[in-house]
Amino acid sequence: MQTRIESLVARCQPGRSLPGDFYSGEEIYRLDVARVWRTGWLFAGHACEIPQPGDFFTIEVDTDPIVVVRGDGGAIHALHNICRHRGSLICTEPSGHVTRLVCPYHQWTYALDGKLLACRGMDEELDKGKFALHRIHTREVEGLIFISLAEEPAPFEPAFKTLAPLLKPQGFHRAKVARAVDYLVEANWKLVWENNRECFHCNVNHPQYIKANFDHYNADDTAPRVREEIAAVVARSEKKWAAAGLAATHKQTGMTLFPDARNHIWFSGNRTPLVDGWVTESMDGRQVAPLMGDYEEPDVGTLRVRTLPNFWNHSSCDHSVSTRLLPAGPQRTAIRVWWLVEESAVEGRDYDLAKLMPFWQLTSEQDWQICERQQRGVNSSAYTPGPYSTYKEYNVASFVQWYLQTLER
């Protein structure tokens, strides 16, 4: 007998977008939360946001409130942000600093690692050791914090091994957040990813992005002039940077292949050349902040990292832009975009938000609008799954395959 999930998956056709209820319905959204969001490794935030013991930020994964806090010894803890007494939220602010975690309801008090320290005179009646805050698996790779709600998550080690050497030169440990912007996008999280996984839409929708990048050209429309351009930029990158490990690793037009559904790989990173004359993803390609990390000159292309189900990052020589998705309902995704710069950079002196932000702010907001329009369309009774282009939407097909496999695991 087919299980419910098997029968849902059987309705999906390879090479086509998903049936409408996959993007809109409560039942499949609940399955997504259980099978994707409560099993995988989720990007939570940046370690540089909580530099001191007691610094914290909160996030919500669907209906699960979580606090991420730096402990007394410097370790980062992720805890369910709900009191073990009668379940109240504990930290009610998006971020802040505390010495202890105190529940606002009846003031049960927890250490930064979640241990219950005081329970307002109930000490005689209960064993405090049994009432610590529920802990969440936490791992950090080069200043990026990942958490997993799974009881036994998949090993993080393969992601760490791949990502650590790529991320290191960017210097996320020595970065600071110049600005973060929150969006509540009225679209299912999978539509947001599908949009991210193709640049078929870039030519018309992203006038800023296409000036700096090569990935909107695909194998079927890369003119000889473009091929020569990218070959020249790649050759220069290899000549300059091979020894330092900073040479371009994505050497052709089109988007790098991700995810790898066959091997169920949920993380990847690469260094991609920028169009000649552009040293950063800014409006005019000129540097907009001091060099970050280990970079000694600006001509290092872009570092791009992505992890399913909720993170991507584009880093240039002088700034880094992270995007985090969190599911907030069948047709709603909470998205945060961060702009990071070198930690000693001073706003107004070393960088100006009006120059730092527009490239990715415009590109991101263009995408959110696309996703919201698509959501309205797939909600229509007339919607039927449509075909993916082999040349331009291969990553969307892989994403859908990865997603369906994750549902069935």
Tell me the residue ranges of DSSP E strands in 288-391: 302-307, 311-315, 320-327, 333-342
Q: How far is the CB of 202 from Fe ion (least distance, A)?
A: 6
Sole binder of ligand FES in the list 47, 83, 159, 341 (CB under 6 A)? 83
C-alpha–C-alpha distance, residues 404 and 29, integer Å: 13
88 contributes a contact to ligand FES by CB under 6 A: yes
- The end-to-end CA distance of the chain, in Å, is 17
Which amino acid would we find at residue 220?
A: D
Q: Are 256 and 190 a contacting pair, CB within 8 Å?
A: no
Residue 367 contacts Fe ion per CB under 5 A: yes
Residue, CB closest to Fe ion? 367
Q: Choose among ligand FES, Fe ion, none what residue 99 binds, the Cβ cut-off being 5 to 8 Å by kind.
A: none
- Cβ atoms of residues 88 and 68 within 8 Å: no
CA-nearest of 299, 287, 277, 291 to 211 is 277
Q: Does 379 sit near ligand FES (CB under 6 A)?
A: no
- Nearest approach in angstroms of CB 333 to Fe ion is 15
| Total interface residues for Fe ion by CB under 5 A | 1
> Per rule CB under 6 A, is residue 86 in the interface with ligand FES?
yes
Report the distance separating Cα 306 and Cα 143, nearest Å: 15
Q: Where are the beta strands (DSSP E) in 119-217?
A: 135-141, 144-148, 175-185
* CB 266 within 8 Å of CB 259: yes
**Distance between CA atoms of 70 and 112, rounded to whole angstroms?**
7
Residue 367 binding: pick among Fe ion, ligand FES, none (C-beta 5-8 Å cut-off by kind): Fe ion
Give the shortest CB-38-to-Fe ion separation in angstroms.
Answer: 28
Check residue 281 for interaction with Fe ion (CB under 5 A). no
Work out which of 85, 168, 336, 355 binds ligand FES, going by CB under 6 A. Answer: 85
Residue 79 near ligand FES by CB under 6 A: no
Minimum CB–partner distance for residue 43 and ligand FES (Å): 29
User: Does the footprint of ligand FES cover residue 217 (CB under 6 A)?
Assistant: no
Report if residue 106 touches ligand FES, rule: CB under 6 A. yes
Residues that bind ligand FES (CB under 6 A): 83, 85-88, 103, 105-108
